[in-house]
Amino acid sequence: MKIEKKELLKVMSRLYDEIDLNFPKNINLNEDYYWNIESEYIFDVKKEPEMTIGQLTFDWEELSRLTSRSEESINYDLKRFAMILRYLEKESFAEWNSGKSVK
């Protein structure tokens, strides 16, 4: 399967709008640590994965440096960003199931 970059960017823009609309100005990270499956295992379902522990606050500290235009991103920033998105997904799903708003 191939994904067109243009389409991927459209999806990202739509999700940006959803976050802007559905989350408060300041998002509380009520949890910090998470299970992390190493990249070499995540798409190889025939192997038993090795897991480590990741930390959302550390991920955000590292991502925050990107708000300065002089800082360059590294490929691992995509993984950090994905984990923040996973947390937002978890929070919004929990709130949606309880009938509450995330805001």
pLDDT in tens, 46-101: 999 999 999 999 999 999 999 987 888 999 999 999 999 999 999 887 666 665 66
Does residue 81 fall inside a structural domain?
A: yes
At residue 12, does pLDDT exceed 70?
yes
Instruction: Kindly state the tokens that stand for 98.
Output: 């309880």
Global pTM value: 0.83
The domain containing residue 29 runs over which residues?
Answer: 25-98
Count of domains forming the chain: 1
Instruction: Kindly state the tokens that stand for 11.
Output: 């999806």
Does residue 103 fall inside a structural domain?
A: no
In the prediction, which pLDDT does 93 show?
Answer: 75
Does residue 5 fall inside a structural domain?
A: no
Least Cα distance to 87 among 23, 43, 41 occurs for: 23
CB burial string 64-99: b at 16+ within 10 A, e below: eeeeeeeeeeeeebeebbebeeebbeebbeeeeeee
